[in-house]
């Protein structure tokens, strides 16, 4: 993964309607956060949107590609992130609409997980 601060500034401007956004560097790339939840990755000039069974089919239909990376043993791993559709690269309103779907996916994921303290108590 590679993060370019200039690309990060473009993302902030393009997704300005979602203010406040937080960009945190991670693993050479960056995570894009809203309300404390990560909803996108930034890597090599690509916005990778979080997806689940609800919005992934819509992203696929829009021509998005899934985030993949090679492992040390020659395998290819995929993550639940899909590229921002090409049509949204020039249209901030469309980009924000896609991002809101990814924020919803992040919220669904967070709601489906038990709090960490509850997990610790359950093991005790």
* Sequence-ordered alpha helix ranges (H) in 53-91: 56-61
How high is the mean pLDDT of the chain? 90
Q: What is the pLDDT of residues 79-119, one digit of tens each?
A: 999 999 999 999 999 999 999 999 999 999 988 886 665 54
pTM of the model: 0.85
Q: Where are the domains of the chain?
A: 5-123
pLDDT at res. 123: 54
Rounded mean pLDDT, 34-58: 95
Q: Which residue has the tokens 């990376």?
A: 69
Domain 5-123 -> CATH class: alpha beta
Instruction: State phi, psi for 31 to the nearest 5 degrees.
Output: -105, 145
């Amino acid at each position: 993964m590679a993060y370019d601060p200039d690309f990060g500034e473009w993302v902030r401007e393009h997704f300005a309607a979602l203010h406040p956004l937080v960009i945190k560097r991670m693993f050479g790339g960056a995570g894009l956060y809203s309300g404390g939840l990560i909803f996108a990755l930034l890597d090599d000039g690509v916005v990778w949107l979080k997806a689940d069974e609800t919005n992934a089919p819509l992203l696929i239909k829009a021509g998005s590609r899934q985030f993949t990376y090679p492992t040390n043993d020659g395998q290819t791993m995929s993550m639940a992130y899909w590229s921002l559709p090409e049509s949204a690269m020039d249209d901030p309103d469309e980009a924000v609409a896609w991002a809101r779907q990814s924020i919803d996916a992040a919220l669904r994921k967070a709601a489906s997980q038990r709090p960490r303290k509850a997990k610790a108590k359950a093991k005790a």
